[in-house]
Amino acid sequence: MKKCPACEQTLDSEFFYGSRHTKSGLSAYCKVCNRLRSKRYRQENEARVKEQIRQWHEDHKESVNIYKRNWELNNRDKIRPMKRKSEQSRRARKLNQFVEIVDPLIVYARDNGVCQLCWDPVGVDFHIDHILPLSKGGEHSYKNTQLTHPQCNLSKGSRVS
């Protein structure tokens, strides 16, 4: 049992972080108070914290890049939808079209998991198709998107459906 000086509660040792700098091996403040102190510090010193993070990333550029590469290799299932979403938004912005954040899962639910080109059920691998393609002046929005099979979408190309 240990007493936190901030909240003055006597708590079990599991409620304290470990510390190599104290005799007891536990931090002075409980986990809750520690988080609050850290949050308050980050808010009061926002510019300083951002600069420290930027400097750390600059100093450790190589290890950060290795970490990112490994994460991408181990999380390909997460990368693909992220890249697809950002690529569609980028293309729409480049063409000065209206851009709305379109969540593929919302489109999937809205279209009841059915391909809007062939009307067959779509599995876990699906595309979000622009009804009026971006290249033809269509916007990146919910009203201009539909759920399709990858094969249906790729065979449609940039035609208007």
Question: Each residue of 42-96: pLDDT tens digit?
Answer: 999 999 999 999 999 999 999 999 999 999 899 888 887 778 777 877 877 777 7
In a domain, 78, yes or no: no
- The pLDDT value given to residue 68: 93
The whole domain housing 17 covers 2-59
Residues 86-145 pLDDT 10s: 787 787 777 777 788 888 899 999 999 999 999 999 988 899 999 998 888 888 899 999
Closest by Cα among 33, 57, 32, 63 to 49:
57
- The pLDDT value given to residue 15: 95
CA distance 82 to 69: 15
**Residue written as token pair 């290799």:** 73
93 and 52 part of one domain: no
Taking the CA atoms of 153, 158, 159 and 161 in sequence, report the sign of the dihedral they define. Answer: positive
- The pLDDT value given to residue 64: 95
In a domain, 70, yes or no: no
91 and 145 part of one domain: yes
Least confident of 16-30, 76-90, 118-132, 146-160: 76-90
In a domain, 72, yes or no: no
Confidence tier at 41 by pLDDT (50, 70, 90): very high
* 118 touches 149 (CB < 8 A): yes
Domain boundary among 15, 44, 59: 59
In a domain, 69, yes or no: no
18 and 53 part of one domain: yes
What's the structural domain count of the chain?
A: 2
150 and 96 part of one domain: yes
47 and 10 part of one domain: yes
In a domain, 100, yes or no: yes
Calculate what percentage of the chain has a pLDDT beyond 90: 67
In a domain, 66, yes or no: no
53 and 104 part of one domain: no
CATH number at residue 90: 1.10.30
